[in-house]
Structure 1
Amino acid sequence: MVVITILTILVLISFPLVMSQIGKARESEAKMNLSAIGLAQQEYFFEKGSFSNQMSNLATSVNNGYYSYPNPTLLSSTVVKHQAVPFEPQNKNIRHYSMGVYFNSDQSYSVKLCQSANPSLDTEVGDTASSGCISGILLD
């Protein structure tokens, strides 16, 4: 009986840690897909001279297991923003992600990735390559 009680206490203590790790593993989907989308946007820009405002124009496919990837926001021909919006963020303990892809005046590309501080908050990447996140945490 004492052993069962001790095991129950250990399981209850470790449960939040395990759930946090599961959430982080699920978030890797968004990071990998946004990375692929960012590269596809750079390829599209190289060919067309501007970024795409339609996911269907990009030469990539994304896995939609835990996130949806709506069409991007095209701020100008040289700035595009993408979102990774989680399905049931609180239930699955996963955060929102936002990525900006920028074509700079020196003919180089910059990519910024932001994540929300917690699953209940949105995030937005800045409008320029030199700005950080409008909301959320800038990831390196």
Structure 2
Amino acid sequence: MKSEFKAKFLQNLVSKKKGAEGFTLIELLVVIIIVGVLAAIALPSFLNQIGKARGSEAKANLGTINRGQQAYRLENQTFSDEVTNLDARITGNFYTYDATGGQYTTTTAADPGTNTDLKVYASGVAQSGDNTSAMVVCESATSDAAGGTAAADVDASATVAATADCSSGNVVQ
């Protein structure tokens, strides 16, 4: 009798297990809603971090260009009007770089047009008569889509020390 009881008990367990497999529709809907809410919270933060990373790329490249301009001026007594003349490795695909030379230099990192949510950056380097130099990197207050500018004012006429400042936007370096 005990063996029949064991067999029926095991059969009952197996039949209950087969019928209780899977999730109900309510459980699946609750999980989908939770995942949707988490994605809605996390996605804007993630996209903001991408924009910050691209801005950091522009700031780093402008700093490299500024140091390259200072080295170019030591060798040639003038700043370069072409970024390609500098011994500087520029990386990234989100910005283009234009330089003006002469007594002082201004370099602009402009958005190439594919990412209108990026900020505009500008930098400047000046060297005074006593060979002291100043450099600045400016960031626009708004994104390029809103017509942001980040003009860098560089005063190379100072006799004691060169000065660099942002005429619009914020000083970032």
Give the TM-score of the pair, scaled to structure 1: 0.86
Q: Does 1:123 align with 2:150?
A: yes
Contiguous gaps of at least 5 residues in structure 1: none
Which residue number in structure 2 is paired with residue 39 of structure 1?
67
Instruction: Tell me by how many angstroms 1:56 deviates.
Output: 2.6
Structure with larger RCO (C-alpha < 8 A, sep 6+):
1
Which residue number in structure 2 is paired with residue 102 of structure 1?
126
CA distance in 2, matches of 1:42, 1:127: 14
Give the TM-score of the pair, scaled to structure 2: 0.71
Counting helix residues as a fraction of each chain, which structure ranks higher?
A: 2
Whether the aligned pair in 2 keeps the contact of 1:98 and 1:113 (CA below 8 Å) is yes
Instruction: Tell me by how many angstroms 1:106 deviates.
Output: 3.2
Aligned length: 135
Q: Does 1:68 align with 2:96?
A: yes
Instruction: Tell me by how many angstroms 1:3 deviates.
Output: 2.2
Residue correspondence of structure 1 range 1-140 to structure 2 within 5 A: 1-70=29-98, 72-74=99-101, 76-77=102-103, 79-87=104-112, 88-90=114-116, 93-120=117-144, 121-128=148-155, 129-140=162-173
Instruction: Tell me by how many angstroms 1:131 deviates.
Output: 4.9
Greater Cα radius of gyration, structure 1 or 2: 2
Instruction: Tell me by how many angstroms 1:12 deviates.
Output: 0.8
Which residue number in structure 1 is paired with residue 10 of structure 2?
none
What amino acid is aligned across from residue 65 of structure 1 in structure 2?
A: N
Whether the aligned pair in 1 keeps the contact of 2:136 and 2:152 (CA below 8 Å) is yes
What amino acid is aligned across from residue 84 of structure 1 in structure 2?
A: A
Whether the aligned pair in 2 keeps the contact of 1:89 and 1:95 (CA below 8 Å) is no
CA distance in 2, matches of 1:26, 1:119: 12
Q: Percent identity?
A: 32
Which residue number in structure 1 is paired with residue 16 of structure 2?
none
Instruction: Tell me by how many angstroms 1:64 deviates.
Output: 4.2
Runs of 4+ in 1 over 3 A off after TM superposition: none
Instruction: Tell me by how many angstroms 1:47 deviates.
Output: 0.7
Instruction: Tell me by how many angstroms 1:61 deviates.
Output: 3.2
What amino acid is aligned across from residue 114 of structure 1 in structure 2?
A: C
